[in-house]
Structure 1
Amino acid sequence: MSTYPFPYSQAARLDPRIKIPRPAIDPALAPILDSCLLPEELDIGLMRNYSASEQGETAANPSDSIINGAPHLKHKEFLVPGPQGDNSLVLSVFMPKEPTSAALPALYHIHGGGMVAGDRFSGVAELLDIMKGIECVFLSVEYRLAPETRAPGPAEDCYAGLVWASENAASIGINPAQIVILGSSGGGALAAAMCLMARDRQVPMIPVKGQMLLSPMLDDRCDTISDQQFEYGSPWCGVSNRMAWAHVMGQDRGTNKTTQYQSPSRATDLSNLPSTYIDAAECEVFRDPAVSYAMNMWRCGSTCELHVWPGAFHLFDGIDNPSVPLIHAAVTAKQNWLNRMFS
């Protein structure tokens, strides 16, 4: 499968299929964006192989490389009951070797990968690097992937892990009143869905403290202005986004059969949700669904801090870079919000 033939930062000028105006890429980000051109059509095998190699999963224990970069932490794994009780989930927990409290705040992580790729170690090293100086326990759940497991199965897995963590907080060393859920990209959809589940089912008994949705993949309909603007010439373009949602939803994608637990943008009631942080890049398909979700939270009386980073692309700030002001500003905003949640 051939990669996209033009530099992404120049796509609007070079790709004749792009007919409508769209925001330009920040010049400081253009070299980063153009350094890795991807196939336009989604290739699950390629994504899964890339995720495995990126996490060093050819090693005997992929958590070792994460700990090497964060030597103040230790790693434990827990086998927890799945949503139907007939399967088990693995929960990886990274905790301080010398905690200052027996009940620390917890960040419950749901990895990205379009809900079709990745594992519980995906993106963890980068997040732990961003979170330096924030003392907490970091949990990451191994949820089942699509298309083998259709929505809302992956969200139910993540929710089951959250309930177990809350009910077993003392044994993990966390404060159940200070659990923040973090999901990026496809993981953002699952984070939003499980917060809706927790609100509707009133379990855990102690409400989730906050949710952090980073460039979240929220809407299976894929019909917003940002979807149209970035149909082509973007690392995760409209073509790949629709293909991923088709794997996640099957034939129900885009129909009135879809529920809020499958595609959170379908929710009509966003009241009584935890404090929320949402960010998105200006130059990505997920921009407008993220903005709409924040607006609907406000409409329903929930609170949300929203950032749309100008001239940025999908997950542009995965690694802090103080020499690029926009990246550093985005990372700092996340750190500030988490510090407020955990204070």
Structure 2
Amino acid sequence: MSPTIPRPPLDPELDYAQSRFPKVPLRGNLDLRRKAAALTWASISVGKEETIAHSEIDIPGPTGPLRASILRSTKPEHRDLPAEKRLGIVHFHGGGHVTADRFVGLNTLFDIIETLGAVVVSAEYRLAPEHPQPAQVEDSYAALVWAHSHARELGFNPEKLVTCGGSAGGNLTAGVSLLARDRRGPKLLGQMLFYPWVSDETASFSIEQYGDVAPWTKDDNAHGLDLALGVGRSGGSIYTLPARAAETEGGLRGLPRTYIDVGEADIFRDQDVRFAGALWRDGVAAEFHVWPGAWHAFDTFAPGAGVSKRAFRARLEWLEGLVGSAE
């Protein structure tokens, strides 16, 4: 970041989480970043053992089985909730397509599971650079198709199916929605994009303003794009870089109702603003929030902060309205 570029201040309540990030750039340190991003159900579920049940299953992927986690509410008020009334959510994890696992970001859905009794499916996908795009989006689409076809078995209404994800998971959410539209696949009730990575741009005002702020910096972004998209970024398409779809003849028309949010101090802010505008231009109903002073993935790393709680509440209220409109 240039010291001459003014920027709004970071939320001081997020300082503690920000200070704990190791100063390890992605470039040259992929193995270290992968170790730091690896989670387990036990590591994220502390305090939720009595309200959320976790199970695992292997589901079919394009090149072999994908490990998936299934989360359900165990609260008494949800125990007898019929499948017809129950929401299904397919979650795609973040990590720049090169790190992390199916548990990353799941903690941001705990309020939704406990309040709405939603069933959440979160599956692994192949990581780049060993498997550059479109491996990630094809694996994620396979997870959506599987969840939709097994909805009754999983205990939710296939007509009440929502996709969601943060960062690279937001990229996959948008890409999967485009695939579902163009392949005439599962019909989605809605999609939720949390600070999504939708473009391959490496220069924007928000990138220059906040390019030094962890956990995803300007250099991480540039290097991550090279790793995720392969040599010469040959894996770039409207499905792996959804912002490109806005410039095609079909645009973003036909996508489901959309919720988008991003932090004010996130390098993806400007591309997300443009993506929200493109959705509105193409007639897609979208709700968009920019959270003051919040950096990339703030809610995952600091779920107890006030701004994170506001984000969780806004997402829950959007989902409640979405489900209500489908009754």
Q: How far off its partner does 1:68 sit?
A: 6.3
CA contact (8 A) 1:69 1:125 kept: no
AA matched with 2:202 = C
Partner of 1:87: 64
Partner of 1:288: helix, strand, or coil? helix
1:77 maps onto 2:62 in alignment: no
Residue 218 (structure 2) aligns with: 238
Indicate the structure with greater helix content. Answer: 2
Deviations 1:89-117 (A, max 9, x none): 22221123424113421111111111111
Hey, what does 2:288 align to over in structure 1?
306
What is the total number of aligned residue pairs between the two structures? Answer: 313
Counterparts of 1:252 and 1:270, CA distance in 2: 26
Aligned pair in 2 of structure 1 residues 178, 67: CA closer, same or farther (>3 Å)?
Answer: farther
Q: Map residues 1-343 of structure 1 onto 2, 5 A cutoff.
A: 17-42=2-27, 43-52=29-38, 55-56=39-40, 62=41, 66=45, 69-83=48-62, 86-97=63-74, 98-103=79-84, 104-129=86-111, 131-204=113-186, 207-253=187-233, 258-268=236-246, 269-318=251-300, 319-321=302-304, 324-343=305-324
Amino acid in structure 1 at the alignment position of 2:70: V
Q: Which runs of 5+ in 1 are unaligned?
A: 1-11, 57-61
Secondary structure at 1:140 match in 2: strand
Structure 2, gaps ≥5 residues long: none
Q: Secondary structure at the match of 1:79?
A: strand
Structure 1 Cα separation of the partners of residues 196 and 23 of structure 2: 20
Question: Secondary structure of the residue that 2:110 maps to in structure 1?
Answer: helix
Q: Secondary structure in 1 aligned to 2:198?
A: coil
Label 1:180 to 1:297 Cα distance change in 2 as closer, same or farther (>3 A): same
Q: Which amino acid is 1:160 matched to?
A: A
Aligned-partner SS, 2:159: strand
In structure 2, relative to structure 1, the CA distance for the partners of 1:195 and 1:21 (3 Å cut) is same
Aligned-residue sequence identity (percent) comes to 36
- The 1:200–1:25 alpha-carbon spacing in structure 2 relative to 1, beyond 3 Å, is same
Please say if residues 63 and 121 of structure 1, whose CA atoms lie closer than 8 Å, have aligned partners that are also in contact: no
CA RMSD of aligned residues (A): 2.2
Q: For the Cα contact (< 8 Å) 2:52–2:114, is it kept in 1?
A: no
1:82/1:36 Cα in 2 relative to 1: closer, same or farther (>3 Å)? closer
Q: What's the secondary structure of 2:10's corresponding residue?
A: coil
Match of 2:277, SS state, is helix
Contact 1:82/1:157 (8 A) holds in 2: yes
CA contact (8 A) 1:130 1:320 kept: no
Paired with 1:182 and 1:68, the residues of 2 have a C-alpha distance of 23
**Helix, strand or coil at the partner of 2:299:** coil
